[in-house]
Structure 1
């Protein structure tokens, strides 16, 4: 649509408040609000930026909706943006990428972490740290015995499962606990998730103190770490939120911007205490090479706040007060909030300013931190890539075969969740990889692995290793996405294609870190096994542990030491002519 077409369309529009849409072939490109539709639409005949000019050029029609008030236009704009996700608008992404905790609507409710909660479930969250949620849910299950099994495993049982033996469930399935008592435990879990930290922290503290008195210091240290996580779960606000009058609910917002994307962190305080926190990503309008302008960068924090406030609260209850890092600068948004009785403050000092600083820290933690995980999930077309497990095998010509299983959460190594396994000595990388994956899958299926299922499995290798891993998963029946990363060409191998990503792609760097760490961990374990194994070298006079380690490191196996010449043996530090002759005669 050219400038003349825009002016002609504007002439026919009313001078009333409303919403306008630039559309092409039935697709909405841009949604805007206006106090005066005719004047606002006419302004697009002379676009303010290259981005807007491209949008106007692509449009073939302008659709409007008249509203009674400016506030109605504001809310209608927000709803249309969320419905159509227009390419050229700043858009608030859905919360579903963040973990939530749900208690299902069953006779004996189940507790689980999810990103897609059931409509009938009681849901808490979303939360910012999946790892923290996992620790807390496990602590809740150990303390109150709430089940985590699927309906299929729950129904028709005649004896309790392994969770009961491990103290993770009180087995309502076989009525080891009556349903009335079980409901009381579920209520206690709900009270904790609603913000009553002490209902879980107090029994953990007592158990920690008992373990310390019994000199079970390893158990006490584990409980101490868990207690710290539990106490930090509902936010860091030990201080009361400064509020005025009858303000019961206060939301605190922080904004961080990187390039064309922004993150808004929201802290919720009720009755003076922090009870919830979450983060939301706003996507920049569509851009193309050569476009030097960007709606987020050019509008800065005020533009992000104005977009977030309307889109987020259009479908939610407004708080009594909003604490912002700076003014949003939108008169229509200000009028709407004032009409709704919301107090908007930009604190400069005191407790409220500290809360805004905390929200800013939460926002900055998200910018760039989740990007590589989200980009990887998008590139592989999977739901999430926040939790990745990487696998590799190591051996010396089939001897001392071992496998590694490392874990990365939100792009960072989670060393507490590393695992390793001795394998049957076999000079076959494919067979070793299949054995390793079968071991991991069976532990998951049988509930013997205390870690949550990963979002993605990464195999160190190419097509052969990937096929071996897929065969293992299929044999056991564990459905988890799996890919391989071939080191020679840094190709990502999936079940149906091979991908070559740019060398500077953040999501490729993430896979490389996981692959390299799984390789390092496997080699390290292999060397430990190889060096610690008892061999006939132990019986050779003059050969101590260090010399034996150097011999095996130099030759790889006792068989190779046996076949080495005296001259080769003497090349190892600590082996002289006499010792070399002793080794040859004894072996």
Structure 2
């Protein structure tokens, strides 16, 4: 009898065979394909019960989960001591493996925020694009660069905080231009003490946290005390600052009757397409929004829970309150993780069910249920409008569909990569790889390769090196289409290199 290739059993059968070996405890499970690539990472309070739900109720699964099971041939797991540890481990594994069937969020590094480090002798306000757990204070993010710069302008005019890049300002005999214009207290000249500068810093932090009304009362009391003590020079400075703060607050005529920082989540869904919108409310003001589009529903069907787990990762500053359209399944686990991450309770209010109340705020800082419902309705309407815009753009001249038809591809290239080799007059060769997802640049995944193994001008050898280094990494996600800058020769080298790496075939084209 001639030998025959033994094919692996269908995915549900392979997973069912693994069920008896799964423990009944908290942990993380990983679905993998025939090549060992991680397809999906999930968390569970009971690993066996969670994985069994995939194979015992196949009729209830969404199309994307069905596709996941068709490709998965094994399931691995990691046991954790608590469900909260499983949540953190799930985040880390998703970030490490970027599985195809998990929720993916675009990097928000383009959003500006203000950073102030109180450990500096004379803290400065600076623009940064990422929050970091470094002990500094962060304010934002600002979805508009104009609004961020306007905020910084107000902070300089009202409080006089320095914005120079030096961590420790060098001594000067004359103030810089900002100091001469009255937009910096100029601690570098020694004309203000460290204590007085830190008082201005505390007032600025109070203002940025949305406590402007409380700051007005404090400034007024300090001004009256300075006048009583016959310190008229200080009283005049406080009077000017008081008027500047009052003028700034009066311009915010659309302020809501709350000074909380809130994230309001809106979800819109149409078939397999979904969009999650985060409405940013900072200091009672709607300051902007972020959109996250999902052309396919995530495996498992828990879009809101998966989104919250990934969106509020450990490097993101949590607001005082999060408004949700309904109660996610892991609400208790999420609130515990956020409490530990933030160092204090994060208030969660769910529009479709009973909301956990970690600690009720006092005074008039708490939004009423009707105000919260109006914000949720606003977020939902914006999410629905954004989803319609996305779908309309897809229906009217979708370039990915056009590219699919022109190149005869099996599916639209939702994940597109482009490769090029460049030199500077024959020297300093580098390779560049750019990535597009859903027709948009994914700049967080751009890569630049310094050519290490090739001497002289040999484009073919350089291409071989770059392809080997990029696609030779274990678990590397393959694109729907790879575009190579070059003709038939360059294309042949790339195809040969991919074949030598043992990778499954995928479309590759040359652009001469």
Query: Normalising by structure 2, what TM-score?
Result: 0.51
Q: How does 1:318-357 map to 2 (within 5 A)?
A: 323-328=323-328, 330=329, 332-333=330-331, 345-346=350-351, 351-357=368-374
Structure 1 position 62 matched with structure 2 position 81: no
Partner residue in 2 for 1:131: 146
Partner residue in 2 for 1:261: 275
Partner residue in 1 for 2:223: none
Partner residue in 2 for 1:33: 43
Partner residue in 2 for 1:231: 252
Q: 1:267 touches 1:359 (CA, 8 Å); kept in 2?
A: no
Distance 1:355 1:94, change over 3 A: farther
Q: Deviations over 1:204-239 (max 9, x none)?
A: 9xxxxxxxxxxxxxxxxxx9997368636xx83215
Separation (CA, whole Å) in 1 of partners of 2:24 and 2:15: 16
Separation (CA, whole Å) in 2 of partners of 1:136 and 1:376: 33
Q: CA deviation at 1:376?
A: 11
Separation (CA, whole Å) in 1 of partners of 2:155 and 2:52: 60
Rg comparison, structure with higher value: 1
Q: Which of residues 91, 116, 128 is equivalent to 1:114?
A: 128
Q: CA deviation at 1:141?
A: 0.3
Q: How does 1:359-378 map to 2 (within 5 A)?
A: 359-361=376-378, 368=386
Q: CA deviation at 1:114?
A: 1.9
Q: CA deviation at 1:21?
A: 0.7
Q: CA deviation at 1:61?
A: 3.6
Q: CA deviation at 1:86?
A: 2.5
Distance 1:27 1:229, change over 3 A: farther
Distance 1:283 1:74, change over 3 A: farther
Q: Deviations over 1:563-587 (max 9, x none)?
A: xxxxxxxxxxxxxxxxxxxxxxxxx
Q: CA deviation at 1:40?
A: 3.8
Partner residue in 1 for 2:170: 155
Separation (CA, whole Å) in 1 of partners of 2:72 and 2:368: 49
Q: How many residues align?
A: 339
Q: CA deviation at 1:191?
A: 1.7
Q: Deviations over 1:168-191 (max 9, x none)?
A: 212222224343332222222112
Flag the structure with higher helix content: 1
Separation (CA, whole Å) in 2 of partners of 1:377 and 1:145: 44
Partner residue in 1 for 2:198: 183
Distance 1:363 1:139, change over 3 A: farther
Separation (CA, whole Å) in 2 of partners of 1:224 and 1:155: 30
Distance 1:43 1:121, change over 3 A: closer
In structure 2, stretches of 5+ residues that fail to align are 1-7, 220-243, 340-344, 354-366, 394-435, 446-484, 487-512
Separation (CA, whole Å) in 1 of partners of 2:80 and 2:72: 23
Q: Deviations over 1:410-453 (max 9, x none)?
A: xxxxxxxxxxxxxxxxxxxxxxxxxxxxxxxxxxxxxxxxxxxx
Distance 1:375 1:345, change over 3 A: closer
Q: 1:256 touches 1:360 (CA, 8 Å); kept in 2?
A: no
In structure 1, stretches of 5+ residues that fail to align are 205-222, 241-248, 288-292, 384-495, 498-587
Separation (CA, whole Å) in 2 of partners of 1:318 and 1:142: 28
Q: Deviations over 1:354-403 (max 9, x none)?
A: 2232255357658749999x9899638489xxxxxxxxxxxxxxxxxxxx
Instruction: Look up the SS of the partner of 1:126 in the other structure.
Output: strand
